[in-house]
Structure 1
Amino acid sequence: MKQIFTSLLSLTLSCCTVASVIHLPSAVANDTPPPQFTATDINHLLDLDTRLMQLTNGINLSHWFAQSSNYSDARLNSFITQTDLATIKSLGFNHVRLPVDPVLFLNQGNPSDLNAHYLQHLDRALNLILDNDLAVIVDLHPNSSFKERLAKDDGFVAQISQFWGSFAQHLSHFDPERLFLEVLNEPSFNWYLPENPVERWDWVQNQLIDSIRAYAPQHTILATGHDWNNIEGLLQLTPIADPNVIYSLHFYEPIVFTHQGTDWVHEHLSYIRNLPYGVDDDDCEQVLSQISLQKAVDLAYGYCQEEWDRDKIKARIATLAAWTQEHQVRVVATEFGASRFWVNPEDRFAWTQDVRSVLEEYNMGWTLWDYTGNFALAPKTDGTRLVDPQLVSALDLEPEQEVFQPPQSVPEPSAIAGLALMVILAKRKLNRV
């Protein structure tokens, strides 16, 4: 079972046609030497721990600029609004992660030219986020075919390196203390390359980071491993030779539990529902008796035998914590969560609480997946997004007020810092005593 789920399948999403473009300076377009680091730039690198205080607790704004087949002006302007961002801030989050599909901005004929129309929408969104006193991770979040081309096509790697240079130059105008650049979401090179996926991704990621760093010398970059941002991929990664890089973890273990009832990771999971978290033989037997597909029964049975609990989660994350100590690097969990449709609310609460508390114990910031979608904190009910107070409790947030029913109708979605972080967590605990 573990071999089956060492990889997560990404959704293959519809691409939009790139039309109007904006021309960037010749330093990008004509391959002239990029700007060099200055003493001021190096001084910025010394403030990494302070920057990471912006990433202690956050949430993903999925299905806005990625994972959708509809990128109309009306939808981009209304999918996430001022009310949503004010709610997120009021709940106690200090940052968001914004998945962005590069296809919206990319002109493959000239990767240095970015789509001006979508850049305007992105700038509006970023300003809205920052104006609500939220930091933001800009996450390059392409579909599967894009990642497969990176895995297999050197020419495409060169194109996307050039694209990232232009994109980074555009984003470099935003405050480097509050805007972070994530190289690529879930590279999944092991899915496309049976041999040497680690070496290939190390090379590709360094190519992309070199381009980003050339045109955004002050911004912190988020890197990851060759597979799906999981622990094993990070453990096999050669750390980047750049002191202003942190590492992105996705934690969905055990995936048979977190993704039960879904079909995009593996079709057999869609047959499994209401599987409990923790050791409960009676509940497991009841769930097993209701599964109609034998292969799904086998998956669920294997999960029940593993007896997941907080100690097991802690043991998994401890291996990564040891890696961070060995290499003197930092990790942020930029995704974790469990499906809201087929996971019992009490089990979802317990798993979320355990993962969140273990991440904090190891001084790793976290970003919940997601605000609205299949794992949502604020699912849509009768045209209104309603915040789940139980999930807020599991996250141990400190809302500025009781914000559990934002009065807003919205379109339906298509789907750590070292010592400083320890001080903040300690203060939160003291405030509750």
Structure 2
Amino acid sequence: MNRWLGRGINFGNALDAWGDGPELPLDERYFDEVAEAGFDTVRLPVRWSAHARAAPPYAIDPAFFRRVDAGVGAALDRGLRVVVNVHHYHELCAAPEAHLPRFLALWRQIAARYAGHSGRLCFELLNEPRGRLTAVRWNAVLAEALAVVRAADPGRTVLIGPAEMNGLGALPALEVPGDGNLIATIHYYAPFEFTHQGAGWVEGAERWLGRTWGGTADETAVRDDLEKVAAWGREQRLPLFLGEFGAFSGADMPSRTRWTAFVRAEAERLGMSWAYWEFGTDFGAFDLESATWREPLRRALLGDREPAAEIRQ
């Protein structure tokens, strides 16, 4: 399954939107753009916690479930793979014990709803565990959530990532359950001062404006980081999915393009599938206003690749 995930893109800031940032309308034409460009996978971040009851049985709003259904269906109908996760559950990270029953109830509903869907649909248990959801606590929560999924859907591919916001430094502390249908996922935004320069939600990010990327030292740092991830994957006999990587629009386009192309190429060299962050908002490879790809970023991700017909079957 990891091989078929291939090259992906996140539909961020759509079903996971929060705060005052830009929002992506989840239009079917965007799935067409992704499929026609030659991507293999769409990752759908979903903020389920904002659309579920606060008290047992923690029922997910049926109207919101239908919105997610539409996104999943649009991807599958176009021959794409799709990754559905639990995104922005910040309350769980702040108070794991208090929110664990609700988190498990969310997965009980999600797994049951999609149990009959195509095997091209994957689940990702939680985006970027952090805060009080330390590595030790997350290992226990992960195992419980996986058991809930397996009760409804024994054969579904499930993605798991480490604590500390899916950072590569936390991989050694990730306890991998004995399960034959797992893929490990990490996120990569290094150097952070480059990829997040000017990002309004990051304190002090305006001081990083003007930082460029390129050259031997920069490339070596990325290569060394991703080779450590690949070595861990080999030790664990676990395939790897680079679930997020991208550079914010505050960076200059030539540097963004160089960084994106290099990270993508290294991930592929090391046998990782990947999903760029993200389609059409503040990291976007696609310009919603002009309804065209930002060609430097598209080429950095796909080159002159034609849609892979054998993957669309």
Residue 114 of structure 2 is matched in structure 1 by 171
Give how far 1:238 is off: 1.5
Residue identity over aligned pairs, in percent, reads 25
**Separation (CA, whole Å) in 2 of partners of 1:344 and 1:120:** 39
Residue 378 of structure 1 is matched in structure 2 by 286
**Separation (CA, whole Å) in 1 of partners of 2:171 and 2:25:** 33
* Higher gyration radius (CA): 1
Give how far 1:398 is off: 3.9
Equivalent positions of 1:384-399 (< 5 A) are 384-399=290-305
Give how far 1:143 is off: 4.1
Matched, 1:180 2:122: yes
Give how far 1:368 is off: 0.2
**Separation (CA, whole Å) in 2 of partners of 1:396 and 1:85:** 16
Determine if contact 2:92/2:103 at 8 Å carries over to the other structure.
no
- Aligned to 1:334, the other structure's residue is in SS state strand
Matched, 1:62 2:12: yes
Query: C-alpha deviations, 1:190-225, integer Å up to 9, x for none?
Result: x336xxx22111111111111111111111111011
**Separation (CA, whole Å) in 2 of partners of 1:125 and 1:198:** 31
Query: C-alpha deviations, 1:280-331, integer Å up to 9, x for none?
Result: xxxxxxxxxxxxxxxxxxxxxxxxxxx7422221111111111111111111
Give how far 1:112 is off: 5.6
**Separation (CA, whole Å) in 2 of partners of 1:123 and 1:268:** 39
Equivalent positions of 1:211-230 (< 5 A) are 211-230=148-167
Residue 41 of structure 1 is matched in structure 2 by none
| Cα 1:100/1:263, change in 2 over 3 Å | same
Residue 263 of structure 2 is matched in structure 1 by 355
Runs of 5+ unmatched residues, structure 2: none
RMSD: 2.2
Give how far 1:60 is off: 0.2
Query: C-alpha deviations, 1:312-363, integer Å up to 9, x for none?
Result: 21111111111111111111001000012x2111111111111001000100
Give the counterpart letter for 2:183 in structure 1.
Answer: I
Give how far 1:108 is off: 2.9
Q: Which runs of 4+ in 1 moved over 6 A?
A: none
**Separation (CA, whole Å) in 2 of partners of 1:213 and 1:397:** 38
Query: C-alpha deviations, 1:78-116, integer Å up to 9, x for none?
Result: 912222111111111011000101124422322363321
Per the normalisation by structure 1, the TM-score is 0.67
The count of residues paired between Structure 1 and Structure 2 equals: 307
Equivalent positions of 1:247-396 (< 5 A) are 247-265=184-202, 267-279=203-215, 308-340=217-249, 342-381=250-289, 384-396=290-302
| Cα 1:399/1:360, change in 2 over 3 Å | closer
Residue 15 of structure 1 is matched in structure 2 by none
**Separation (CA, whole Å) in 2 of partners of 1:244 and 1:138:** 15
Determine if contact 2:188/2:245 at 8 Å carries over to the other structure.
yes
Runs of 5+ unmatched residues, structure 1: 1-50, 71-75, 280-306, 402-423, 425-433
Determine if contact 1:161/1:211 at 8 Å carries over to the other structure.
yes
Residue 3 of structure 1 is matched in structure 2 by none
Determine if contact 1:183/1:221 at 8 Å carries over to the other structure.
yes
Give the counterpart letter for 1:273 in structure 2.
Answer: L
**Separation (CA, whole Å) in 1 of partners of 2:144 and 2:158:** 13
**Separation (CA, whole Å) in 1 of partners of 2:27 and 2:139:** 37
| Cα 1:246/1:333, change in 2 over 3 Å | same
Determine if contact 1:169/1:215 at 8 Å carries over to the other structure.
yes
Give how far 1:393 is off: 1.1
- Aligned to 2:165, the other structure's residue is in SS state coil
**Separation (CA, whole Å) in 1 of partners of 2:232 and 2:19:** 39
Give the counterpart letter for 1:311 in structure 2.
Answer: T
Give the counterpart letter for 2:109 in structure 1.
Answer: S
- Aligned to 1:192, the other structure's residue is in SS state coil
**Separation (CA, whole Å) in 2 of partners of 1:165 and 1:236:** 26
Residue 161 of structure 1 is matched in structure 2 by 104
**Separation (CA, whole Å) in 1 of partners of 2:59 and 2:288:** 37
Give how far 1:399 is off: 4.9
- Aligned to 1:309, the other structure's residue is in SS state helix
Residue 192 of structure 1 is matched in structure 2 by 132
Give how far 1:53 is off: 2.6
